[in-house]
A and B are shown apart, each in its own frame.
Chain A
Amino acid sequence: MSDPVDTKSLTLAGLAHRCNEETHLFFRRLDYDPRYCYELFRRAIVEANQDAHACLYSQYLPLVAGWVERHPAFHTSNEEMDYFINRSFEKLWHAVTPAKFARFGDLKSLLRYLKMCTNSAIVDFNRGRELAIIEEGSDSEEMRVAPAPGDIEEDTIERVDRSRFWGLIEERLNSEKERAVIYASFVLGMKPAELIESQPDLFDDIKDVYRTKQNVLERLRRDNQLASLLAGAA
């Protein structure tokens, strides 16, 4: 029998209740009706209904917690599970705008996106930690300080800054060889031995890599515009 009720006519409580019931069926791989949860997402995202946000958070918190728990990088992160749960939802609310919501035709696609956001939260944490380790090992007095991962706006600004800085460096490289060395050394964090292994045709030997790298570093160091940028970034 088809349901005569338009989901839009249900209250938030009514939707939350049915969403909860249907979600249990979904995860038991039984027939389920996705319309109620989908309508909750619609109210949260399209209507910016904060109560719907809260309902979805409480509805899917156990699910997201399960995803975090089973993520291969979670247990080595030494971070609280709640941190990743909250970041997952933040990412979803931030990324899925009302205009973008139309691209999600069903509940399954929304939940897949939320799961992807969970992965993204953990990846961001690990990227931030990698950078922190690099900075800890650095003895540069001009060292840039990356913000701790956690704020979407700050993360974005940081990423744009890095990308722009790479653009400035790239303008100062004179050959494919120089670009390969600087990109591999600083953007990818590779050692010369790893570079020669990955691009054996571009270099004569490892000394060629060191020679190219040292020449570029000395040239960049003498570049007044770059020097002032680096000082400003410190």
Chain B
Amino acid sequence: MACDIIAQFPEGALLMVLDGVADPAVVRHVAQCPDCESNLKLLRQTDSTLLTSLYRATCPPSLQLGEYSLGLLPTLESTLIETHLATCPHCAAELRQLDAFMAQPEPAPAASRSEALAGPVRVVIARLVSGLNNLGQPAAAPAFAGLRGSIDGPTTYEAGDHRAVIEIDEDLDQAGRRALTGLLVGPAVAGVAVNLWRSGMRVASTETDAFGNFELLGLESGDYELILSGSGVEIHIQSLPVG
């Protein structure tokens, strides 16, 4: 498929046709020469195949580039990345973008309750003291206890200077559900955040009243964790069965 005429043009002329930068005489010739047209088609095919097969073939994965930026790579790998960066404008641009992105200040979320309670928090794991006092009667009872048919309790948990008395009753407004009433006794018991967790999810929350009373309604039976967060102290009742 040799064409004598195209040989009179500089080598590479066909490829220039492909890029649209050829001498108009070459373009005219190729348009009417089946051999050159066929050659051009093959060149275009090879060019396309190589581009789609090789584009950014030597670029490091974006994660490796990121680890380089964070200084997490061993020296040898870092050196290889630096060598690559010297010749690859794509990766150099990605690195610049990454560095700028990492330098962005973190967004400040809306003020939360924890901000008001800022300061070191002492976490205390509560232990079950008993369900009854020495006289065989509830040691203390939440204000709402006794209003419903009692299922469990009251039970008392101790956590440092605090005590929590918990009672589980039927929820009279929701058939088959349970109501948890509690009383927190100790210093600074008003306005304590009460959070009930189950299977790694927060399922209910409330706050204690001025006297340390709290109530959570509509609970399914099961095992829960109750977390009481006050100022400077957080009480974890890790296993709270709701029967």
Interface string of B60-94 (1 = CB under 8 A from A): 01110111011010000000000000011110001
Min CB gap B105→A, angstroms = 10
The majority secondary structure among interface residues of chain B is: mixed
Contact indicator B118/A31 (Cβ below 8 Å):
yes
Is B206 located at the chain interface by the 8 A CB criterion? no
A1→B229 CA distance, assembly (Å): 16
Contact indicator B119/A166 (Cβ below 8 Å):
no
Is A75 located at the chain interface by the 8 A CB criterion? no
Is B42 located at the chain interface by the 8 A CB criterion? yes
Min CB gap A65→B, angstroms = 10
Selected contact of A5 from candidates B42, B58, B124, B225, CB within 8 Å:
B124
Selected contact of B109 from candidates A54, A62, A146, CB within 8 Å:
A62
Min CB gap B189→A, angstroms = 19
Contact indicator A13/B90 (Cβ below 8 Å):
no
Interface string of A190-234 (1 = CB under 8 A from B): 011100000000000001011111110110110000000010010
Contact indicator B54/A186 (Cβ below 8 Å):
yes
Interface string of A170-188 (1 = CB under 8 A from B): 0000000000001101111
Residues of chain A with a CB closer than 8 A to B5's CB: none
Residues of chain A with a CB closer than 8 A to B58's CB: 163, 166, 183, 187
Is B49 located at the chain interface by the 8 A CB criterion? yes
Min CB gap B150→A, angstroms = 26
Contact indicator A4/B10 (Cβ below 8 Å):
no
Is B38 located at the chain interface by the 8 A CB criterion? no
Residues of chain B with a CB closer than 8 A to A212's CB: 12
Contact indicator A134/B51 (Cβ below 8 Å):
yes
Residues of chain B with a CB closer than 8 A to A140's CB: 44-45, 47-49, 52
Can you list 23 A-B pairs with a CB-CB distance of less than 8 A? A1-B120, A1-B122, A1-B232, A16-B197, A27-B107, A72-B97, A72-B101, A131-B52, A131-B55, A134-B51, A138-B49, A159-B61, A162-B57, A166-B58, A169-B54, A185-B47, A187-B55, A187-B58, A193-B21, A213-B12, A214-B15, A217-B47, A220-B50
Q: A72-B101, A188-B89 are in contact. List 7 more A-B contacts (CB 8 A).
A: A55-B200, A116-B63, A120-B65, A210-B12, A217-B43, A221-B43, A230-B49
